[in-house]
Structure 1
Amino acid sequence: MVDDLEPIGAVQRTQVGREATEPMREDIRLLGGILGDTIREQNGEEIFDLVERARVGSFRVRRSEIDRAELADMFDGIAVRKAIPVIRAFTQFALLANVGEDIHRERRRAIHVAAGEPPQPSSLAATYAKLDTAQLDSARVAEALADAVVSPVITAHPTETRRRTIFRTQHRITELMRQRLHGHGDIEDELRRHILTMWQTALVRLSRLQIQDEIETGLRYYPSSFFEVIPRVNAEVRTALSTRWPDARLLEEPILRPGSWIGGDRDGNPNVTAEVVRLATGEASFTALDHYFTELAALEEELSMSARLVRTSDELTALADKCVDPARADEPYRRALRAIRGRLTSTAAEILDRQPEHELDVGLPRYRTSRELLAELDVVDSSLRGNGSAVIADDRLAVLRESVRVFGFHLCGLDMRQNSDVHEEVIAELLAWAGVHPDYRSLPEQDRVELLAAELATRRPLVKPAAELSELARKELDIIAAAARAVRVFGPPAVPNYIISMCESVSDFLEAAVLLKGAGLLDVSATPCYAPVGIVPLFETIEDLQRGASVLEAALDVPAYRAAVAARGDNQEVMLGYSDSNKDGGYLAANWALYRAELDLVASARKTGIRLRLFHGRGGTVGRGGGPSYEAILAQPPGAVNGSLRLTEQGEVIAAKYAEPQSAHRNLETLLAATLEATLLDVEGLGDDADPAYEVFDDLASRARRAYSELVHDTPGFVDYFKSSTPVSEIGALNIGSRPTSRKPTTSIADLRAIPWVLAWSQSRVMLPGWYGTGTAFEEYIAGGDEQLQVLQDLYRRWPFFRSVLSNMAQVLAKSDMGLAARYSELVEDEALRRRVFDKIVAEYGRTIRMHQLITGHDDLLADNPALARSVFNRFPYLEPLNHLQVELLRRYRSGDTDELVQRGILLTMSGLASALRNSG
């Protein structure tokens, strides 16, 4: 229909640093060639030829040698049993291309280091150099980094459906390519074995993804990378900063502390139950203790020193004497480690629902807290260092001690989250049951606040354990009770936060507080106040972001709530919703609403004397706050980072960042580097010109929101167009994730969850949430004359926030493809509706690209991102067959084809496109 539309946002060139990228291309050719050989051997010449014709045709489309419709015709009416291996071929190639790109990044970094070049921006080494140049005062650094924390929070995602077997196989292929990079022998035969294994293994599960599967998926990153990387990075940063400011007592607690939402986030997910909370916290603890047992057993093998040859401290001798073992009578370190393992065995027996390997039951009492375990490991460390064995103490033992410091007995903090509407309904029922008020929901806001504040001040429980309640109320109370159990069993870090979705008022704060009080997780009448779990408002819509600071200040004016915040060291966390604000008002309006909200919250924190910690609810895609983390953090307003950063990590983005130790180290280092710079240096760059710049963006955001709303909220039939032209309906119907696609059983865009909203547009290659409305806003603004354009060009040069907004938008535009989007639009049966909506999208797409070129001066969308330019150039032709096959199978599925292979094929195309795009949801 619009087959002559070129992918305007794609990189329009035939060579992208060819000399620099040739090694990567060689790696991808090697892996792709082995995959091709495997397909021919396993599935025959016919399938191999089909895959090859699709591959060659895709590159011919990119070179404009054939019409896109000619390639699409190749799959018209294709037998589904032929389509499946073609989908699998291009999906697996995407996974292998990821490996090639990751290895190339390592290669380029090694070249930079070998050449003696300065450390690259976003590395900690570069950050340390900037801090040294700034000559910061020790007292200021100590104040800025008090309670510092950087926390990537792992969340579930419907496109991350890879099985553990595929995960491990891809990991092994990466290791082999790394060996090849360093010239360690011929690895081609082993590569062939692993690629064959991957080809013969189903990529995704046949059964519906359960929340238990998502819990397992989230935990797999610990043994694969986090256990190796996080303790080392924490130690490195603490040492580097303490060396520079030895009197500041910096980072006494680990700065890098991971978190999770999987199993605690029940906002719109009825599958989260008390049993799931127990499973999530229990499996996390099991993962931590299992790691400790493995490391202790290894240490016991390594620390074979004889008392006849080395001296030991009195404390070490006393610890060793707890384990009577005649065979090891002269091996005090081994006996000490056996005593530690024995106590950890007793701990595991009491707190875990299943037991790890390497246990040792010697009848010793359990550790009450992980600090007791750390104290005994410190005894071993001190004895080694005091007797000439520091080099041994600095190896496995040092990493284990750092591990216990950060992972404790809980591994990671599980955040709890629920929608404020549910809290209101449950609280109304509890108050009515207890005879406090018969109709709480009828009360005006001020009366609600007074009633709830009074309830918080009482010592009596609101309901009895055996109270007859509705299914909803009982479920909510049971879930919070399970969280309370986790706090008791694994320690307060096990459940650090209780997040209120769609928080709009002070009563929303206090309703959550009353529920926590009922479970024993809040007691403002105690001395001191007991508040192990922080109450975190989540401001999501643009209006809520605009009101967020005033709502927070009003909540802090309630003595009971202020007491709870004071009990937590005056730390108040606030979560910002990137996804719903974008869905509500579009890309530019949402980004500016978030920036303005942060400015307001920082001012409120100064006014009220609290220490603000912002939690960024980012998705992988730009439409949900994604994009390069380093630039995003430096683009925060002054005072917004303040030593602390929490952000959600989701789906295929988690695998791209954290599946391998090397990539995990690089990405975690980036988070820390940006946090330190944003906290300790002036990175905004506007100075006295800040207020005029803010006024410009107030204007631009208003224009962008109006243009976005005109399409999404005001165009008749838009919802029907969206549902027909994207796979959003199939995301729910095919049971891709454990969470329903909508919060409520409606067809409203407002009730649709942000992940399927963004994922669906990404799959159809429109990627509308990452740019729509921005072009119109800029075009209208600069229509006022050349001076207006110069204002924007000047802000682009000086303001990291604006550069980040345009850079992220350009990435999305480069990944968008209106020619492919046209194929999806053909799924809309109403031709008038199709033209009405799609023509607007195409026009705005071209307008946005023109405005980007005018403001930045770059003809190439990816001029500031050569790595992504390479990726787009090398891999995007391989996405083309997946898009065409997805359209073909969607058409069949919607016409009533009940073949299970058709459904599986759609799921495979979704997974393949998500893996290839690497940040699609």
Structure 2
Amino acid sequence: MINDKKNEIFRQLVENKFQIYNSLFMSLPYDKMTNIGMLLPFLYEESKDGYDKALSPEEIINSFFKNHTDLESEDQKLELLFKIVQYIERQVVLFDSIEDAAFQKLHSDADSGTVLNLYERALQDHRLTDVRKKLKDFSVKIVFTAHPTQFYPNAVQRIIHDLRDAIQNDSVTNIDVLLQQLGKTPFVNKERPTPLDEAMSIMYYLRYVYYQSIGDLYKKLKETFGTDDFHLHPDIIKLGFWPGGDRDGNPFVTADVTLEVAKELRSSILKCYYGHLKNLRRRLSFRGVSEVLEDLSHQLYQAIFQKDFEISETEIIAKIDQAEYILITEHQSLFRELLDDYRDRVKIFGTHFATLDIRQDSRVHQKIVDSIYNHLFKNEEDSELSNQQKFESLLNSDNHVKPDDFEDEIVKDTLQNILNVTKIQQQNGERGMHRYIISNSDEVKDVMNVLALFKISGYQNDAIKMDIVPLFETMEGLDNAEAVMRALYQLPFYQAHLNMRGNQQYIMLGFSDGTKDGGYLKANWEIYRAKERLTAIAKEFGIKVIFFDGRGGPPARGGGKTHDFYASQGKTIANNELELTIQGQTITSVFGNKDQAKYNFEQLLTAGIENDVFENSKKDLTEKERHLIDNLAELSFEKYSELKAHPMFVPYLQEMSTLEYYGKTNIGSRPSKRGADGELKFEDLRAIPFVGSWSQLKQNVPGFYGFGTALKILKDEGRFDEVKFLYQHSDFFKTLVLNSMMSMNKTYFPLTYYMKENKKFGEFWNVLFDEFNLSKELMLELTGFKVLMQEEPLNRKSVLIREKIVLPLLSIQQYALMQIQKNPDNKAVYEKLVIRSLFGNINASRNSA
């Protein structure tokens, strides 16, 4: 009944409204876009019917021109295709806005995974005391990254927010005006955004979404679970921030940029406090209170706009406490709850707003350590020293180095960045920056090198107020994780450092690169097992371990439905904090407005609490179940490894996909691959362009490849009933299956049927297609579903509508790629068409987190 009701609401508020507003949209007189809206349905029908008949995109586009236009010149045809691309981009924004506007009506406080649902369940099971106990020592943190999976210019973001509000209010006049504005507003950045541009873009969400949504959720938690003797800690919901701090493979992130982003974060939260206080003073107008708050307002203003004026979190709270004392003693505590709410925000966000992390690759650190060692110890006999001996020498040295001691820019900048940590902590508070993340951590030296860099920069041991965070992301790194951490926990210097950090260790796991390296099933299982081993060893050494998951948005990047994933973790995995990265379409589709953000924060929070408080046999794996998943993961990995080793694997992506064009889209500051220009190697590929290219082909290979083969082998061995039992009794395995099915639901091989006849790549294409068909067939049999995503009708509907919107765009993109191969002399204009079509496809890719 509930699903039927939601289906009807979705039909009325999403499907019907899209039809209505799209018809309005189709008739708008955009510059040179008249009649595009009338032609688009014809291109859709040509595409849909053409692919059903196994026609190529080239045949479909040519048929469209012949049957529905009188255009003859190539220039005229290209101009029309560019206009269609622009039009579809805006259709995607319209649908996003309509779907977001319906969010409140499609979700309620009583839904599974909400705070109210958790409270009622705890009350019914007599577990309120246990929930409160868990709330004292648990938190949720989302960390914003600038990874370019979606990047609307700021002007378009603001239109989206206004359009959503207008749709919620059914204001046809405002919708009409905003659609006109949308039609005339550029979607493309003329230049690649800088890291500061990326940071400012995400700070928009901090100021206008998270300040309110997190404040409201904290207040809701207090009201629901608070008592006279129980008080929530303000760090229960936290934000992290990578733009401006993540220099892994991004030469444009410098020490100066990091300082500037830290300053902007501080300024942004003070502006929130200043605006909030302005509203607060309208109520708290009483003698004594008014004067204290006015003084605080002046101080905040000075801290925002005067370069040398600073104000700390402690000083702000002291003023609030002073106002509260007068309010209680002289004004009967009138509006005290408003003052409480304001103070809670200050405790939550401090003067940092979000924690700015530093990240760099371990290989870069090693080169820097080598340079510093050679500078300090110019002894040829030491040339054969091990990496361990080098970091030990630096840790024990009384010498210090300065950035200007070196000519190499990466050495200078890294040392300057380390020196700046103290300055950032002084201005933003220690919560403003306290983590240094090391990509590709495979060895002990990868962690110790960072501590050596702090020590050689002049930091005393007790002044290194930073958590050093290894990031294990490849299959090799995950295999080594236990040995690395055991060795670190036994090193006296590291033991002393951990003791100073409260015996707390952050460990990051790379789902995106793990999936790229090992395939979806293998990566998720290896990360699960690595967490179990790392939990056990941390317990052995008395360390509180906190796992930080580098999850991408879609399953092909190691993502998928986050609540289901975290609710499926068993008791063998430490559950001290739930922390994950979000970016691009995950920000806008899951945390993009106040209602969505609040709801999805609740989902994460309750997922973590439920794991500890409520018994559920489906979360704990038996030895037999473990053996079975291990068996499936290995078989899947073997199949995926065969694919990676195929001689056509990288050439196929280079020549037949959009991989080469990701770096030209100007949607992110970071290059699309590690390393210098030269021959493209699999290991140098970034996970986002890698997965994005499969997505643009509508093949989504990393999200399912190998899963079908693994199931088929066990079925042939007569063990399929065991797998069915596993699916029915393991939440973890079920989540992996459903997430993989989500990837397949967004797959459309008819788009590339023409490739099976390609002399160079036909055989490789058929390998992909066969595995897709096998995976789909066996997963439907395993689940008993008739269609993919059968248990998620709303998301399934949303995906189908989006796929319908972008199908003409995909036809245009594939047509352009075919023309590039066919006519290299005229490739420039078709390359531009490929790049322009990337945006609509990227931005339409939601329903993934």
Task: Return the TM-score normalized by structure 2.
Answer: 0.92
- The reply on whether 1:216 has 2:200 as its aligned counterpart is yes
Q: CA deviation at 1:513?
A: 0.9
Partner deviation per Cα, 1:685-737 (whole Å, 9 max, x = no partner): 255x522111111111111011011112x211221011112101011234432
In 1, the alpha carbon distance for the partners of 2:664 and 2:495 equals 45
Q: Paired residue for 1:560?
A: 493
Counterpart contact for 1:595–1:637, Cα < 8 Å? no
The alignment status of 1:54 with 2:50, answered yes or no, reads no
- The count of aligned residue pairs is 832
Distance 1:584 1:196, change over 3 A: same
AA partner of residue 320 (structure 2): L
- Structure 2 residue aligned with 1:847, among 768, 774, 777? 774
Secondary structure of the residue aligned to 1:918 is: coil
Matched, 1:739 2:670: yes
Q: Are the structure 2 counterparts of residues 821 and 601 from structure 1 closer, same or farther at C-alpha, using a change threshold of 3 Å?
A: farther
Partner of 1:310: none
In structure 2, the residue matched to 1:259 is 240
Equivalent in 95, 98, 101 of residue 96 of structure 2: 98
Q: Which residue of 1 aligns with 2:106?
A: 108
1:132 equivalent to 2:123? Answer yes
Return closer, same or farther for 1:366/1:733 CA change in 2, 3 Å cut-off.
closer
Counterpart check, 1:728 vs 2:684: no
Say if 1:734 and 1:903, in contact at 8 Å, map to a contact too.
Answer: no
Residue aligned with 2:107, SS: helix
> Residues 28, 188 of structure 1: CA spacing in aligned structure 2 closer, same or farther, 3 A cutoff?
same
Equivalent position SS for 2:788: coil
- The one-letter code matched in structure 2 to 1:484 is T
Q: Work out whether 1:620 is the aligned partner of 2:533.
A: no
- 2:741 — aligned with what? 810
Structure 1 residues 65 and 844, CA gap change in structure 2 (3 angstroms): closer
Match of 2:814 among 867, 872, 887: 887
Which residues of 2 match residues 410-449 of structure 1 at below 5 A? 410-435=352-377, 442-444=384-386, 448-449=387-388
Partner of 1:600: 533
Cα shift readout 1:818-869 (whole Å, capped 9, x = no counterpart)? 111335x48xxx9333112100000000000111012111121111111111
Q: Which moved more, 1:806-815 or 1:154-163?
A: 154-163
Displacement of 1:261: 0.6
2:619–2:732 contact (8 Å) kept in structure 1? no
Equivalent residues of 1:424, 1:508 under 8 A apart: yes
Tell me which amino acid in the other structure corresponds to 2:791. D
Distance in 1 separating the partners of 2:80 and 2:187 = 17
Q: Which amino acid aligns with 2:209?
A: S
Q: Which amino acid aligns with 1:167?
A: Q
Separation in 2 of the partners of 1:67 and 1:170?
Answer: 36
Q: Matches of residues 386-405 of structure 1 in structure 2 within 5 Å? A: 386-387=329-330, 390=333, 392-395=335-338, 397-405=339-347
Aligned twin of 1:580 = 513
TM-superposed CA distance for 1:873, in Å, is: 3.0
Q: Distance in 1 between matches of 2:219 and 2:493?
A: 38
Match of 2:323 in 1: 380
Distance 2:531 2:33 in 1: 58
Deviation at 1:594, TM superposition (A): 0.8
Partner of 1:482: 420
Shift of 1:612: 0.8
**Percent identity of the aligned residues?**
26
Tell me the SS of whatever aligns to 2:406.
coil
Mean CA deviation greater in 124-133 or 251-260: 124-133
Name the CA distance, whole Å, in 1 between partners of 2:752 and 2:579.
35
Q: Which amino acid aligns with 2:575?
A: N
Matches within 5 A, 1:751-900: 751-785=684-718, 788-822=719-753, 825=755, 831-892=758-819, 895-896=823-824
Distance 1:840 1:671 in 2: 38
The farther-off stretch of 637-646 and 41-50 is 41-50
1: CA distance between counterparts of 2:836 and 2:684?
27
Residues 570 and 619 of structure 2 are in contact (CA less than 8 Å); yes or no, is this contact kept in structure 1?
A: no
Residues 158-185 of structure 1 show CA distances to partners (whole Å, capped at 9, x for unaligned) of 24221111111111111111113xxxxx
Q: Distance in 1 between matches of 2:424 and 2:248?
A: 20
Say which SS state the counterpart of residue 498 (structure 1) adopts.
Answer: strand
Q: Which residue of structure 2 lines up, in the alignment, with residue 5 of structure 1?
A: none
Question: Helix, strand or coil for the counterpart of 1:38?
Answer: coil
Once the two structures are TM-superposed, the CA of residue 910 in structure 1 deviates from its matched residue by: 1.4
Match of 2:299 in 1: 343
What SS does the aligned partner of 1:871 have? helix
Per-residue deviation, 1:403: 2.0
SS of aligned partner of 2:761 = helix
Q: 1:454 to 1:807 in 2, by over 3 A?
A: same
Q: Which residue of 1 aligns with 2:18?
A: 28
Distance 1:54 1:696, change over 3 A: same
Q: CA offset at residue 231 of structure 1? A: 1.5
CA drift of 1:590 comes to: 0.7
Check conservation: 2:54, 2:753, Cα contact below 8 A. Answer: no
Matched residues in 1 for 2:389 and 2:801: separation? 62
CA distance in 1, matches of 2:412, 2:8: 63
CA distance in 2: counterparts of 1:615 and 1:238, whole angstroms: 26
Contact 1:224 1:659 in 2 (8 A): no
Q: Which aligned pairs between 1:296-307 and structure 2 lie closer than 5 A?
A: 296-305=277-286
Residues 531 and 568, structure 1, Cα contact 8 Å, conserved in 2? no
Per-residue deviation, 1:252: 2.3
Q: Is residue 188 of structure 1 aligned with residue 172 of structure 2?
A: yes
Deviations 1:587-623 (A, max 9, x none): 1111111111111111111111101100000111111
Match of 2:224 among 226, 240, 243: 240
Relative to 1, partners in 2 of residues 1:389 and 1:655: Cα closer, same or farther, differing over 3 Å? farther
> Are the equivalent residues in 2 in contact too, given 1:773–1:844 (CA < 8 A)?
yes
Paired position in structure 1 for 2:3: none
Q: Does 1:700 align with 2:649?
A: no
1:101 and 1:47 map into 2 onto residues whose CA distance is 24
Q: Which residue of 1 aligns with 2:27?
A: 37
Deviates more, 1:738-747 or 1:595-604: 738-747
Query: In the alignment, residue 460 of structure 2 is paired with which amino acid?
Result: D
C-alpha distance in 2 between matches for 1:600 and 1:304: 58
Unaligned segments of structure 2, at least 5 residues: 1-5, 66-73
Counterpart AA for 1:665: K
> 1:536-562, CA deviations, whole angstroms, 9 ceiling, x for partnerless residues?
000011121122122111101001111
Residue of structure 2 aligned with 1:291, choices 266, 272, 295: 272
C-alpha displacement of 1:345: 3.9
Gaps of 5+ in 1: 1-15, 114-118, 181-186, 306-330, 353-364
**Helix, strand or coil at the partner of 1:79:** helix
Query: CA offsets, 1:491-518, max 9 Å, x none?
Result: 1111121001111111111001111234
Q: Which has the larger displacement, 262-271 or 371-380?
A: 371-380
> More helix per residue: 1 or 2?
2
> Helix, strand or coil for the counterpart of 2:643?
helix
2-side partners of 1:718 and 1:44: how far apart?
A: 40
Aligned residue identity for 1:645? L
- What's 1:321 paired with? none
In 2, are the aligned partners of 1:914 and 1:920 still within 8 Å (CA)?
Answer: no
What is the Cα deviation at residue 530 of structure 1? 3.5
**Alignment correspondent of 1:323:** none
Secondary structure of the structure 2 residue equivalent to 1:473: helix
Which moves more between the two structures, 800-809 or 859-868?
859-868
> CA contact under 8 A between 1:616 and 1:647: conserved in structure 2?
yes
CA distance in 2, matches of 1:822, 1:879: 18
Q: Does the 8 A contact of 1:264 with 1:415 survive in 2?
A: yes
Look up the SS of the partner of 1:220 in the other structure.
Answer: helix
